Amino acid sequence: MSESSQFSRIPEDPYPHYIEFRHVHKSYDHPVLRDVSFHVDTGQTLAIIGRSGVGKSVSLSHIMGFQKPDSGEVIVAHTDITRLSEEELRAIRRKVTMVFQSGALFDSLSVGENILFSLELREDYNEQNKEDVVDGLLQMVDLQQVKDLYPADLSTGYKRSVAIARSLAAQPECILYDEPTTMVDPIMSDDIGNLMLRLKRQLGLTSIVVTHDLDLMRKVADTVMFLYQGEAIYFGPTAELEKSRHPHVQQFLAMDRVEIVGRIVET
């Protein structure tokens, strides 16, 4: 026996990526996800793009454990969640939070109370600590001035930013954004993109953003997955997407260029 063979080899990490899909299939009355594979490393941002109804939001639902794949593996926080119980999934959801397109704020609560609600189950804070955390989170998203307002008083963009602040109350490792700039004006859209970048850099957050907004994609995403009819027809660096020769990718990008020209003409 050689000297080196006397030492046991360090086993490789079976789940090296923070989030990963391995050959995931999901069908309802028709296939929604077809052999989808991708990964996101710690501290990185993935954008999932494509036309409506191609499986983008379904992918987020699988990451949160709200749905299970028909086959394949879903890895979240370096853990295969495919067969976890609901109790085990709750532990994962403390690490990964989701910012819904609607914002999902409580209309009857003020902005500060909405964020405070997310802290109520935290036993490591007393009441004064919780108020300080609320103030700190609103300061982080530059919305200290809206603490006492109600969701009905806010623009769509402000509601999204408040929803992001509330998601941070859980001190997550990862945030999933579902169409964060839909129905938001270009200036606020840019502000949301800057906020996402700032949180990534300051907190080291891992992120996945589902979006139709290619300006946002170019600003925040390290990698991109393009879904078409449930298949990942592109997965790779954001900077390389424009070079893809896949006709559906090129058609999607061409439609974006037409929209940009239209905005320029309008101004």
Q: 73-96: per-residue pLDDT in tens?
A: 999 999 999 999 999 999 999 999
The helix or strand, by DSSP H or E, that contains position 46, with its residue range, turns out to be strand 45-49
Nearest to 143 by CA among 166, 127, 170, 171: 166
> pLDDT at residue 264 above 60?
no
3-state class of 73 per DSSP? strand
CATH superfamily of 13-95+175-267: P-loop containing nucleotide triphosphate hydrolases (3.40.50.300)
pLDDT of 110 strictly over 90: yes
Task: Identify each DSSP E strand in 86-244 by its residue range.
Answer: 96-99, 174-178, 206-210, 223-228, 231-237
| H helix or E strand, kind and range, residue 40 | strand 31-40
For the chain, what are the domain ranges?
Answer: 13-95+175-267, 104-171
Q: CB neighbours of 34 closer than 8 A, spacing ≥ 6?
A: 25, 229, 230, 231
Model-level pTM? 0.88
Please report the pLDDT score of residue 7 as a whole number: 52
